[in-house]
Structure 1
Amino acid sequence: MADTSKIREHMELVGADGVHIGTVDRIEGDRIKLTRKDSGQGSHRGHHHYIPTSLIAEVDSDKVWLSANADVAAELFEEEKNDPT
């Protein structure tokens, strides 16, 4: 697993295929919390999504790269309803 201490707020999260997945809000435990602006459509809209840090392949100066392609990573999103933050 990559060094999560290098991850900063507002870094872009991308899949192994280079496709945008979201924008980092912060690290919470063993998950990356994404900003609400990347929350999606319909019932997903307005909720924070989380992705496990175990999927991080690399962190460079402005992007967090995952080991999975974007479509696969999106299936692994965790969502918290009624998220107050």
Structure 2
Amino acid sequence: MKVIGADGVHIGTVDGMEEHRIKLTKQDSGQGSHRGHHHYIPMSLVAEVEGDTVRLSANSNVAVTFEEEADGGDPGHSA
């Protein structure tokens, strides 16, 4: 399933679910120090699921600020 922001911009692809978060595939992990890590989107940002698309309640530029890294690189992460 693809994950898009409220503005219709592609954010990532669902790799699975862990706890109350959507786990994105590593290929959608971005550049630099973010590359090669799984990122997570909180379920609280999900506005709706339609077909193979998860639409978030936040625009893409805001939603990516809520992402957490699997390696605990972000302060809000609890692994």
Give the aligned partner of residue 77 of structure 2: none
Percent identity over the alignment is 67
- 1:35 aligned onto 2:37: no
Normalising by structure 2, report the TM-score: 0.88
Give the aligned partner of residue 51 of structure 1: 41
Gaps of 5+ in 1: 1-10
Normalising by structure 1, report the TM-score: 0.82
Give the aligned partner of residue 19 of structure 1: 9
Q: How many residues align?
A: 72
Distance 1:61 1:80 in 2: 27
Q: Which amino acid aligns with 1:23?
A: T
Once superposed, which parts of structure 1, at least 4 consecutive aligned residues long, lie more than 6 Å away?
none
| Equivalent residues in 2 for 1:46-85, closer than 5 Å | 46-81=36-71
Give the aligned partner of residue 8 of structure 1: none
1:6-38 Cα offsets, whole Å, 9 max, x none, are: xxxxx0000000000000000111000000000
Distance 2:48 2:21 in 1: 15
1:22 is paired with a residue whose SS is: strand
Distance 2:11 2:65 in 1: 11
Gaps of 5+ in 2: 73-79
